[in-house]
Chains A and B, each alone.
Chain A
Amino acid sequence: MLKVSDPVYEAMRQHGEETYPHECCGVMLGRSEDAVNAVTEVVRAGNTRTDSAHNRYHIAPQELIRIQRQGREKGLDIVGFYHSHPDHPAQWSPTDFAEAHWLGCSYVITAVEKGAARQTNSFRLTGHTEETKKFEPEPISVTGQNTPGLGPE
């Protein structure tokens, strides 16, 4: 399960609206315990794929290292990543799967239709090796600041 507070959830969706018609991407920091990836904050990343930003995303390793270091200083780990699918469904693509290597992490995809965020889905990259990995849909629990445990859907 992916646990995320309402403002953080909305921040990811809004990022996709802002970069439309290009894909946005970012890193989720938080804590990972057993079956739950709890997101505390998200960090926007610059999409380095300027050649085909509308249908590709890529986060530079230097940027990831910097984000990992920032998280570490706050006691937070990288627990996942998010990106948007402009005018495409919130389903992982073969490219998303082939280029997913952070086992145990959550990959959040938001469909952005004509500039407006629609469905948001999360997929956990499970398995123990590159050869046995797979994406499994996971529920997203969005918690309001005053109503912990209550999701919108």
Chain B
Amino acid sequence: MKIFIPTPLRVYTEKQDAVEVAGTTVAEALSALTMKYPDFQKHLYTGEGKLRSFVNVYLNDEDVRYLPEGDKTPVKDQDTLSIIPSIAGGCCRTGDRAFGACCCCRD
């Protein structure tokens, strides 16, 4: 199956935006990826081996975290996995503090 790699992690896949791996479950496919490119390990997982909180793994259009079987979900050859770090941010509430003392209003 194919795993789509986000821009920041392509330095570890010889610039490829997609990697072909073998596996019968999501977990097997991911471990095939980290076997092939060991540098992925620390970017995807914490020291305890848990998927980092800001890393999303999608099986086709479904978040693997919310699949009933999680990463044990069986996969077929034509399925795709996408690794997608989250995008978020923001300023503090305008009303929370005086305008000049806001967290992002630095000199």
- A interface residues with partner B (beta carbon < 8 Å): 23, 25, 27, 32, 49, 52, 54-59, 61-62, 64-65, 68, 72, 77-79, 81, 83, 85-89, 91-97, 99-105, 107, 129-130
Contacts of A32 in B (CB 8 A): 7
Q: Which of A25, A58, A88, A105 contacts B102 (CB 8 A)?
A: A88
Number of interface residues of B (CB under 8 A): 33
B43 on the A face (CB < 8 A): yes
- Is A61 a contact of B58 with CB atoms below 8 Å? yes
Contacts of B93 in A (CB 8 A): 52, 54-55
- B interface residues with partner A (beta carbon < 8 Å): 4, 6-8, 11, 17, 42-43, 52, 54-56, 58, 61, 63, 82, 84-94, 99, 102-106
Q: Which of A79, A92, A129 contacts B7 (CB 8 A)?
A: A79
Residue of A nearest to B52 (CB): A130
- Is A59 a contact of B94 with CB atoms below 8 Å? no
In Å, the complex CA distance between A29 and B64 comes to 26
Contacts of B63 in A (CB 8 A): 61
Known: A79-B7, A88-B94, A89-B105. A102 touches B87 (CB 8 A): yes
Known: A61-B56, A62-B58. A99 touches B86 (CB 8 A): yes
Q: Which of A55, A68, A102, A104 contacts B91 (CB 8 A)?
A: A55
